[in-house]
Amino acid sequence: MRTGKRQSPRVRKRSPGEPVTIGEVARRAGVSIATVSRVLNNVPRGVGAALRKRVLKAAQALDFRPNALARSLHQKRTHTLGLLITDIANPYYAGITRGIEDVSRRLGYALFICNTDRDPTAMAHYIEVLREQRVDGIIIGGGGTPGRRHFQALHHRGIPAVLIGRYDVPLPAVRIDNLKGGWEAATHLIRLGHRRIAILSGPDTSTSIQDRMKGYQRAILEHGLSLPEGWILRGDLRPASALELAGRLLSARQRPTAILAANDQMAIATIRAALKLELRVPEDLSVVGFDNIELASYVSPALTTMGLPLYQMGVAAAEIAIRLLAGTSGKEEAWFTPELIVRESTGPPLTHAGRTITPRPDPGSKRRDA
């Protein structure tokens, strides 16, 4: 029996976790599905300000989430970035990654992180994986000279990519003046009076390590000093390798009074090796690191190092990548210069009489007690 009353349309119950559809948003706003689509995809044609506001209010009330796959097909974009790094456990890359991730999230991009362990085969594999996933762009945080051909291939294929480091490839990049940083680190020790300086280096395939080494050696040669045979040792930038190499150097009859370490992890392990041999830092041995990871100011003695703004480097890389994707103008290169941060792990060497040599002033350093 009809009562004459108009009945409301039956609303289908949604299963738990079932997403809200674009049709439901359209019904809520009292518009067509096509109008909702134009609003959500920022297509201004035929959509006034009041109508746009009504659609967005309806979408918010229903907690509507656009389907990422459908949106990517429509826009021919996935709103994803790929990041290749060589060692996810290294705090250097952790700082850079955090900067990239924060910018990506703020601008609506998801980030795929791939760890290559300095393996060119793994790098090639991950580049192909990222291409298959149709990421919008790739940021490469390391890879050394073996990775150069892969970077060239990205350039020739027209895939938006940003490099962090020096690779002599015509791609946008975040670059670090590692040569200047190496020179300043060695010069700091020389001004303190050190003449017997050893180097704990990293893989010779790393362009960053190559430049730091050139800087160390340039400063040593400029001051008329020499590096004894066997005082340049290469590790893998991890603490375990540095502990073994530093122990070997410091156990020798003729040992250095100072060690330049290619990164802070190796420098901290060097301090540990010295303490195990009952050597005092900095009285018996001065140590300089590179990168200024967070732990550098917390170890005892606090580490003198060449500081890099790791987080800001990551921010710069992400911003360059997203500018490229948006087609907006701006610098495609950002430069960062390491800064000498003097803490407790460096001091003048002892003379044979047990006195310290009076150091020469170091105008470029920044003294930090923490």
C-alpha dist (Å) from residue 250 to 119, 179, 198, 266, 278: 31, 26, 10, 14, 10
Q: 25: which residues sit within 8 A by CB, 6+ positions away?
A: 36, 55, 58, 59, 62, 64
**83 in the same domain as 67:** no
> For residue 28, what are the domain limits?
22-74
Q: Which helix (H) or strand (E) holds 287?
A: strand 286-291
The pLDDT tens digits for 137-184 are: 999 987 676 677 777 788 778 788 999 987 677 789 999 999 999 999
Q: Is residue 15 situated within a structural domain? A: no
Structural domains counted in the chain: 3
Coil, strand or helix: which one is 82? strand
**124 in the same domain as 37:** no
Q: Is residue 5 situated within a structural domain? A: no
**351 in the same domain as 243:** yes
**297 in the same domain as 283:** yes
- Domain final residue pick, 14, 49, 74: 74
Q: Is residue 17 situated within a structural domain? A: no
Query: What global pTM score does this model have?
Result: 0.77
Q: How confident is the model at residue 337 (pLDDT cuts 50, 70, 90)?
A: very high
Q: Is residue 203 situated within a structural domain? A: yes
The pLDDT tens digits for 244-297 are: 999 999 999 999 999 999 999 999 999 999 999 999 999 999 999 999 999 999
**355 in the same domain as 302:** yes
Q: Any idea what the CATH number is for the domain that residue 235 is in?
A: 3.40.50.2300
Q: Is residue 52 situated within a structural domain? A: yes
**135 in the same domain as 249:** no
Contact 321, 357 (CB under 8 A): no
Residue position matching structure tokens 């010069």: 187
Q: Any idea what the CATH number is for the domain that residue 52 is in?
A: 1.10.260.40
Q: Is residue 16 situated within a structural domain? A: no
**300 in the same domain as 197:** yes
Q: Is residue 13 situated within a structural domain? A: no
**48 in the same domain as 82:** no
**153 in the same domain as 135:** yes
**What is the residue-wise DSSP string for 166-212?**
----SS-EEEE-HHHHHHHHHHHHHHTT---EEEEE--TT-HHHHHH
The pLDDT tens digits for 115-138 are: 998 888 898 899 999 988 889 999
**167 in the same domain as 141:** yes
**254 in the same domain as 352:** yes
Compute, in degrees rounded to 10, the torsion defined by CA atoms 308, 312, 316, 322: 150
Q: Which tokens belong to 348?
A: 């003048």
Of 311, 303, 316, whose CA–CA distance to 346 is shortest? 303
Can you tell me the distance from the alpha carbon of 60 to that of 150, in angstroms, rounded to the nearest whole number?
44
Of 345, 228, 214, whose CA–CA distance to 288 is shortest? 345
Burial 320-332 (b: 16+ CB within 10 A, else e): bbbbbeeeeeeee
Q: Is residue 251 situated within a structural domain? A: yes
**149 in the same domain as 206:** no
Q: Is the pLDDT of residue 66 over 70?
A: no
- Domain final residue pick, 74, 90, 105: 74
What is the mean predicted confidence (pLDDT) over 69-78? Answer: 56
Q: 27: which residues sit within 8 A by CB, 6+ positions away?
A: none
